[in-house]
Amino acid sequence: MKPTQALERQHACDRQGSRAPIGRPLKASPHKSAALLLAWACLQFGAGPGLAGEIEVLHWWTSGGEARAAQALKASMQAKGHSWKDFAVAGSGGDSAITVLKSRVVSGNAPAAAQIKGPSLQAWANEGVLASINDVAKAERWDELLPKVVSEQMKYRGDYIAVPVNVHRVNWLWVNPVVFARTGAKVPSNWDEFFAAAETLKKAGVIALAHGGQSWQDLTLFETVALGVGGPEFYQQALVQRDLEALSGPTMEKVLSTYKRIKPYTDKNAPGRDWNLATAMVIRGEAGMQLMGDWAKGEFLAAGSLPGKGFICAPAPSTSKAFIFVIDSFAMFKLKTAANTAAQKDLASAVMSPEFQEVFNLNKGSIPVRMGMKMDKFDDCAKASAQEFTAAAKSASLLPSVANGMAVTSPIEWALKDAVSQFWNSDKMSSAEAIKRIVAAAKSR
């Protein structure tokens, strides 16, 4: 580390440390301001001299809850003396970010790390642009700290090329309990009850379901319906294995008709709306429910809404015994300088640390991916998620999200998003026509 950088780090930590509240444990609050986070990070990560570099991280965590979580990462890197270059690209569940990343990599100007997940990790590694972080992983025994299904996805030809951050559950229903109490709607546990609650809310003049009409959200809703209506085995066969019979059989027809039955309970301004703006409608009581992954919880928390009071989390209808997962991870790119490579390894190490796993996931709405973490600071939604994750893994009900990059390659995912979205948005398309398009998308390369 250059002496000036070491001094800067010292000063940043001194300044922040002196602002830290005395006598109150920093880890007590999950909702930290930027200054508190840096003070926290100085305590956790401030020690240890090293080579200071620049760390540029591409991500799409720009909503209220996501930004707080990303701040934890920035603070931990700054506490280690590295300079942080934020490369945040807002929007569309990461679709825009990946487009920008491709052009940066093609022009030989890759960031240190990028939010890439699922099968795309292998596709990027195949291009020869990712770096091994095996030395960090070996020294810190990641193989023992991660579920095998996760560690395998983070490796390419036996080498770790990515670090996992969290586990999100997709199949959640978010409810505004004040609106429900006022209108007499009951929190649904199956699809019949869902439509009964939606009808009650609609009659009371409330938007029943807050939806963002973007293709990744249309597909996120679709996979949740597919799981609820068809069950885990159907989900696995139709959406993950893309089995022709399952994709075109009577269960698929039922899934499509249930999916389309939801549409009248959304509002006319849904097209194009970002997911977090849909969550805000539930927070404000303009809408009664949202079906969305638990990154939505980060929005409730960031807005000061408390679990059980401002919002209720319930498994999406008919999916209480299954778990659609998303595991966010950072892929590491080959870099040109030793200082930046050292910073990249520090990033990998920080992400896997118990301290980071806790503070990040408290803010993000997800649960730690590192095994053996204490959950006492987490709320009941996260505790339920952690229990279900373990239970679902044992009963073959742990399923990768198709809409959020975990199950299929990205060309297939894009094709599925298009097909499902066209069906959602059309007044005329029959189920038979939708099936034809979904099958074609599922079989695309």
Task: Give DSSP secondary structure letters for 382-403.
Answer: HHHHHHHHHHHHHTT-EEE-TT
CA 137 distance to own-chain centroid? 23
Q: Least distance from C-beta 220 to ligand BGC, angstroms?
A: 8
Of 76 and 404, the one with the shorter C-beta distance to ligand BGC is 404
Instruction: Pick one of 46, 81, 94, 212: the residue that binds ligand BGC (CB under 6 A).
Output: 94
Taking residues 325 to 364 in sequence order and writing x for each that binds ligand BGC by CB under 6 A, - otherwise, the string is -x-x------------------------------------
Q: Least distance from C-beta 170 to ligand BGC, angstroms?
A: 9
CA 224 distance to own-chain centroid? 15
In whole angstroms, give the CA distance from residue 333 to residue 121.
11
CA-based end-to-end distance of the chain = 47
Using only C-alpha atoms, what is the Rg of the chain? 22
Nearest-CA neighbor of 79 among 343, 441, 331, 303?
Answer: 343
Of 9 and 59, the one with the shorter C-beta distance to ligand BGC is 59
Q: Which helix (H) or strand (E) holds 84?
A: strand 83-88
In whole angstroms, give the CA distance from residue 296 to residue 291.
9
Q: Is 167 exposed, middle or buried (0-12, 13-18, 19+ CB in 10 A)?
A: buried
Name the token pair of 82: 């590295």
Instruction: Pick one of 404, 415, 434, 435: the residue that binds ligand BGC (CB under 6 A).
Output: 404
Of 120 and 341, the one with the shorter C-beta distance to ligand BGC is 120
Instruction: Pick one of 68, 155, 168, 417: the residue that binds ligand BGC (CB under 6 A).
Output: 168
Taking residues 284 to 323 in sequence order and writing x for each that binds ligand BGC by CB under 6 A, - otherwise, the string is -----------x----------------------------
Taking residues 49 to 68 in sequence order and writing x for each that binds ligand BGC by CB under 6 A, - otherwise, the string is -----------x-----x--
Instruction: Pick one of 46, 93, 147, 164: the residue that binds ligand BGC (CB under 6 A).
Output: 93
Of 81 and 93, the one with the shorter C-beta distance to ligand BGC is 93
Name the token pair of 407: 């199950």
Of 32 and 117, the one with the shorter C-beta distance to ligand BGC is 117
Residues in contact with ligand BGC by CB under 6 A are 60, 66, 93-94, 168, 275, 295, 326, 328, 404
